[in-house]
Amino acid sequence: MPETVLSNLEAAARERIRTAAGAEELERVRVEVLGRKGSLSEISKGLGKLPPEERAGAGRQLNAVKQALEAALQARQTEFEETAGKARLAAEWIDLTLPAPGPARGHLHPISRLQAEIEDVFTSLGFTVLDGPEVETEYHNFDALNIPRDHPARDMQDTFWLTGGSVLRTHTSPVQVRGMERFGPPLRIIAPGRVFRNEELDASHEHTFYQLEGMMVDRDVSVAHLVYFMKTLLTAVFKREVTVRLRPGFFPFVEPGFELDIHCLICGGQGCRVCKQSGWVEQIGCGLVHPNVLRMSGIDPEEWNGFAFGLGLTRLVMMRYAIDDVRYLQGGDLRFLNQF
């Protein structure tokens, strides 16, 4: 075997190893040169044809070339691995001294926020915040509020009746009764909470929504007191003058009774689906407490009187943030809630 064949083969293989672009190309060189059917194998098959005195020397040379090429392949392979390792380190480098990002935090629902603000306003005016049960007795939800059985007023609010005669409270007004029973006069309370009605749903009507009840029982309470507290409340909520109108409204538990409407802030009073094209949104039912209601809770209407109001908290949130459909508020869609 001419020595030049072997040294040419070694030189060519070394050049290919040196210029290989990556591990795959290197593997191809290894197979083609050192593999079972590679060029060195082919040469070694020819060793047998050499005269015996040349065979040993040629075998040694072949082995030396084989080992040298294996070493070169290994060295180049190591180079590739080091480069790849360095690139990976550079790409995945992180600064462990940076402060870790905190866990994602939730936040208060816009209804809870407004509720807390209104609670602040009223507690600063001497009112106590009361809670009441969502599953209510028929007596507290209706009878004690001067809404007798078989009276048409019971149909004003579509009720979810529970077995055993309890109801899902249709308004927060039963908490007035619980407040009077528990504390007696004089009394200043507010009662925010969830209420339920078996309603036809639309942009301004939910089956489950929030109200905030207020009641003041004292001597010589007048409509002027009621108007004062309603104005204070709305100025605190909207932080500006808002146009309101007070019109007569019928609620069996007040006399006289009023509905306080607010100029629709979603359409600016032009008419939209929330205000049903009227430009006004019904926000608060209110009035002077009916003497029957005081009497039924053990308070003498000759000595005491009072005002009460029931504010649609959910609708107030809609006005404040110009939300044009009440159903967004309880829908649980985070894309909506994350805006607050």
Give the strand order in the sheet containing 187-196: 128-129, 187-196, 208-218, 305-312, 280-289, 254-263, 244-248
**Residues 296, 181 contacting (CB under 8 angstroms):** no
Give the shortest CB-149-to-ligand FA5 separation in angstroms: 18
Query: What's the rounded Cα separation, in Å, for the pair 198 and 206?
Result: 9
Q: Which is nearer to ligand FA5, 6 or 191 (CB)?
A: 191
User: What end-to-end distance do the CA atoms of the chain give, in Å?
Assistant: 86
Closer to ligand FA5 by CB, 140 or 171: give it.
Answer: 171
Residue type, 173: S
Inter-residue contact 216 to 288 (CB < 8 Å): no
Smallest distance from ligand FA5 to CB 88, Å: 58
CB nearer ligand FA5, residue 1 or residue 262: 262
The residue whose Cβ lies closest to ligand FA5 is 312
Q: Which of 281, 285, 278, 279 has the alpha carbon at shortest distance from 261?
A: 281
Q: Cβ 241 to ligand FA5, closest distance in Å?
A: 20
Residue numbers at the binding site for ligand FA5 (CB under 6 A): 157, 171, 173, 197, 199, 205-206, 209, 211, 251, 253-254, 257, 282-287, 308-310, 312, 314-315, 326
Nearer residue to ligand FA5 within complex by CB, 286 or 323: 286
- State the pairing for strand pair 187-196/208-218: antiparallel
Give 63 or 198: the residue with its C-beta nearer to ligand FA5: 198
Least distance CB 302 / ligand FA5 (angstroms): 21
Strand residues in the chain grouped as ranges (E): 128-129, 135-136, 167-168, 187-196, 208-218, 244-248, 254-263, 280-289, 305-312
Taking the complex as a whole, the smallest distance from the CB of residue 162 to ligand FA5 amounts, in Å, to 19
Question: What is residue 25's three-state secondary structure?
Answer: helix
Q: By C-beta, is 33 or 196 nearer to ligand FA5?
A: 196
CB of 91 to ligand FA5, least distance (A): 54
